[in-house]
Amino acid sequence: MISQVSERFEISLNTSAGQITTAVDVPTGFVPITSIVPLMRRLGEEAQALEVARAGEQGRVPSCQKGCAACCRMLVPLSAPEAFAVREWVRSRSVEQQARIIARFTETKARLLSKGIWQPLSALCGASDPWSDEALDEMNRRYYALRLACPFLEEERCTIYDERPAACRELLVTSPADQCEDLIANPVNTIPAPMRVSTILGLLWQDVTSTSTRLIPLPLVLDWAEDHTRENTRKWKGTQLFDQALDKVWRFLSHSFSDGGRRAGS
């Protein structure tokens, strides 16, 4: 096996919680879109660590703990690059584990079909125009009302924890953990995420493929990735892909600062 040559990038980003200064190694050869996922995930986690530290100074500490899986009944959105990465992770598991995971996805699909939720979720994947916040909120409520456990959950433990979607990583609660048992009746206090990695990766996907930005609901992720296998065979020069991803990060952060300024001045 020929090892991939990498180039080190020194990065400095200003976020709402402070400045990130870090270095990442980016492959210089041609790589699939999934290669950018861990790099963006790392930047997102470093930004969120600053936000967590700032919250801690204010006496707000995350109450999330290992084994707490109440949020694993929520509808999780993934970008296309994350969807392909999840499919690759599943295919890397043992035959027995793959069978268990696929069985849970199949059960989830049957339940969503019976409740009339699968079809609109499928429509969301291929929508050329973004859904309104009201429509998304209604869909999230309908899904959460079913209390369906994430297909990657086994005995209330996340089996894909190290490769979990960005949306899961970005949800940190500071209110008492027992309030998470009913997120509709008990609104919780969260630590804001300075970067929404799924959104950034979705914008990158739109840029490099000239398609609509898609966010794929987690229950559909294996079906969607299977249907788009051909798109996952494409490769891009790693450094150029990373440059484009960073451009999306900077645009996202600039927009966040602009929104924050308007809210502060309103």
* Cβ atoms of residues 202 and 221 within 8 Å: no
CA distances for 113 relative to 89, 109, 129, 174, 216, angstroms: 26, 6, 24, 35, 17
In 3D space, the residue among 54, 62, 22, 32 whose CA is nearest the CA of residue 169 turns out to be 62
Whole-number pLDDT of residue 3: 56
Alpha helices in 92-196 (DSSP H): 95-114, 118-126, 133-145, 166-169
Whole-number pLDDT of residue 266: 31
Whole-number pLDDT of residue 64: 81
Q: How far apart are CA 204 and CA 195, in angstroms?
A: 14
Whole-number pLDDT of residue 259: 59
Report the chain's terminal Cα–Cα distance, integer Å: 58
* Cβ atoms of residues 66 and 208 within 8 Å: no
Q: How far apart are CA 204 and CA 74, in angstroms?
A: 25
Residue type, 211: T
Whole-number pLDDT of residue 151: 96
Per-residue pLDDT of the chain (266 residues; tens, 9 = 90+): 445 789 999 999 999 889 999 999 999 999 999 999 999 999 999 999 999 999 999 999 888 877 788 889 999 999 999 999 999 999 999 999 999 999 999 999 999 999 999 999 998 887 777 778 888 889 999 999 999 999 999 988 999 999 999 999 999 888 888 887 887 788 888 899 999 999 999 999 999 998 876 789 999 999 999 999 998 899 999 999 999 999 999 999 988 766 554 333 33
